[in-house]
Amino acid sequence: MGQPGATRGRGDTTVGKAMLNKYARAFFTRVLTPFAAFLIRRGVSPDTVTLIGTAGVVAGALVFYPRGEFFWGTVVITLFVFSDLVDGNMARQLGRSSRWGAFLDSTLDRVADGAIFGGFALWYAGNGNDNVLCAVSIFCLASGQVVSYTKARGESIGLPVAVNGLVERAERLVISLVAAGFAGLHTFGVPGIQWLLPIALWIVAVGSLITLVQRVVTVRRESAEAEEAARQSAGEAAK
C-alpha cells in the first residue's frame, strides 16, 4: 500500500506512515530489512508486495466489517499495513524509482480506502441497521476519493495545490481504523465503546468536506494567479 518517499515517486503520506511515528518506522525498517532482502532473493517484486498488501486490506475490510467484527478486521488491516514498509524497503534496496510504481501505489490506495469505508457502509446497511450512518460511510468513501482527485487534477494542470487540508487521507484512515478497532472491543464486553466508530465517521465526513472546500478554493486562487501572471507576461512580450 505505498512506497515511502522518492523511492516510488510518491509524495503523499500513506496510512502505514501515519500509523507509525518516525521512531517506530526506523525500528520496523531495521526489523523488516532482512525479510525484504529475503523476498528480493526469492524474486518477489515491490509491486507484488503492494498488491498483496492491498488485497489483505480489502479482505480484512470486506470480510470482517460487514459482519460487525471491527476488532479483528482492524487487526488484519493493520498487519497488512506493514507491507507499506516492506515494499518501500525492497524498492530502496533495489535502487528503483518507478512512475509505474507510483501510479500503482496511488491507485491501490484508493481501492483500499473504498473497501474500508464500503465495509462500514455494508454493516450499517445490514445488521448495523442505521441508514444515516450508512450514508455517512458512503459520503466518507466518496469525499475521500474526490479530495484525492482535486489535488491530482490540480497538479495535472500545472498548479501546486499548496494546501494542507484539515483531514487528508492519513487522518481519515487513522481516525476510522483506530475507532473501529476500539469499537470492536464491545463484543468482548467493554460497554459503550461501540459509539466511537459513529463519532469517528462523522468527524471524518465533516473534516473531508472542509478539506474538499479548502482544496477547491486553493485551486481557484492558484488558477487565477497563474492566468494573471500569463496575461502580464503576454503583455510584456507584446511591448
Residue 74: all three cell numbers together: 482492524
105 in a labelled binding site: yes
74 in a labelled binding site: no
33 in a labelled binding site: no
Rounded Cα–Cα distance for residues 133 and 145 (Å) = 18
Of 12, 109, 113, 130, the active-site residue reads 109
98 in a labelled binding site: yes
Alpha carbon separation from 50 to 57, 114, 123 (Å, rounded): 11, 16, 27
The string over 4-41, giving b where at least 16 C-beta atoms fall within 10 Å of a residue's C-beta and e elsewhere, is: beebbbbeeebbbbbbbeeeebeebbeebbeebeebbe
12 in a labelled binding site: no
The DSSP H or E segment spanning 175 is helix 169-183
143 in a labelled binding site: no
Type of residue numbered 111: V
211 in a labelled binding site: no
Indicate if 109 belongs to the active site.
yes
187 in a labelled binding site: no
Q: Could you list the active site residues?
A: 109
Annotated binding-site ranges: 47-50, 84, 87-88, 92, 98, 105, 109
Annotated binding-site ranges for Mg(2+): 84, 87, 105, 109
Annotated binding-site ranges for a CDP-1,2-diacyl-sn-glycerol: 47-50, 88, 92, 98
